[in-house]
Amino acid sequence: MELTTIILLCYTATYILINSLAADKITRYQTFRDGDTIISAGGEFELGFFSPGSSTNRYLGIWYKKISEGTVVWVANRDRPLTDSSGSVLVDGNGITILQSVNGTNGIIWTANTSNYIKNPVVQLLDSGNLVLMSEDLEGFVWQSFDYPANTLLPGMKIGIDLVTGIERYYTSWKTDNDPSIGRFSQRLDPSGFPQFFWMKGSVIWSRTGPWNGYKFNGNPNSSPNGIYKDTFVFNEKEVYYKFDLTNRTSAVMRYIMTTAGVTQLLVWNDQLQQWSIYLSLQNTDCGRYGSCGAYGICDIKNSPRCGCLRGFVPKFPEKWKAADWSDGCVRKTRLVCGTKEGFVKYSGVKLPDTRHIRYDLKINLKECENLCLKNCSCTAYANAYVTRGGQGCLLWFSDLIDIGDYKEDGQDIYVKMSASEMGESWRSGSKRQIQFIVIPAALVVTLLGVIFLLIFTKRKLIKEEKLKSISETESVALTKMESEDFDLPLFDFKRIANATSNFCRDKKLGEGGFGPVYKGILDDGRELAVKRLSKNSSQGLDEFKNEVSCIAKLQHRNLVTLLGCCIEKGERILIYEYMANKSLDLIIFDEKVKNTMDWPKRYSIISGIARGLLYLHQDSKLRIIHRDLKASNILLDHEMNPKISDFGMARIFGGNETEANTSRVVGTYGYMSPEYAIDGQFSVKSDIYSFGVLLIEIVCGVKNRLFTHPDHSLNLLGHAWLSYKGDKLLQLIDGVILDSSNHIEVFRVIQIGLLCVQNDPKDRPVMSQVVLMLSSNMKLPHPKQPGFFMERYLLEADYSLSSPNLSSSNQFTITTLLPRQ
Are the CB atoms for 299 and 293 separated by under 8 Å?
A: yes
339: left (phi over 0), alpha (psi -120 to 50) or beta: left
Q: Across-strand partners of 478?
A: none
Q: Is 150 exposed, middle or buried (0-12, 13-18, 19+ CB in 10 A)?
A: buried
Three-state DSSP state, 637? strand
Nearest to 242 by CA among 192, 203, 207, 197: 197
Per-residue exposure over 323-349, b if at least 16 CB sit within 10 Å of its own CB, e if not: eeebeebbbbeeeeeeeeebbbeebeb
CA distance 682 to 691: 14
Query: Cα separations (Å) of 84 from 38, 99, 303?
Result: 20, 12, 55
Nearest to 190 by CA among 264, 243, 244, 240: 240
Q: Is 111 exposed, middle or buried (0-12, 13-18, 19+ CB in 10 A)?
A: middle
Tallying the residues shown for the chain, one arrives at 822
Give the DSSP letter string of 131-184: EEEE-TTSSS-SEEGGGS--SEE-TT--EEEETTT--EE-EEEEEETTEEEEEE
Nearest to 252 by CA among 227, 231, 282: 227
Nearest to 538 by CA among 471, 460, 608, 459: 471
The H-or-E segment that residue 586 falls in is helix 586-589
CA distance 563 to 515: 17
| Strand duo 404-406 + 297-299: pairing | parallel
Are the CB atoms for 534 and 515 separated by under 8 Å?
A: yes
Nearest to 257 by CA among 265, 249, 248: 265
Are the CB atoms for 198 and 210 separated by under 8 Å?
A: no
Q: What is the DSSP letter of 617?
A: I
**Residues with Cβ within 8 Å of residue 691, at least 6 apart in sequence:** 627, 629, 630, 631, 668, 672, 673, 674
CA distance 398 to 376: 9
Q: Is 139 exposed, middle or buried (0-12, 13-18, 19+ CB in 10 A)?
A: exposed
Q: Across-strand partners of 383?
A: 395
Q: Across-strand partners of 256?
A: 153, 266
**Residues with Cβ within 8 Å of residue 427, at least 6 apart in sequence:** 343, 420
Residue type, position 53, single letter: G
Which residues are annotated as catalytic?
629
Long-range contacts from 329-332, C-beta under 8 angstroms, 24+ separation: 329/293, 329/294, 329/295, 329/296, 329/297, 329/400, 329/402, 330/294, 330/295, 330/296, 330/297, 331/295, 331/296, 332/296, 332/419
CA distance 282 to 262: 10
CA distance 683 to 694: 16
CA distance 112 to 449: 76
Helix axes 600-615, 685-701, angle to 10 degrees: 170
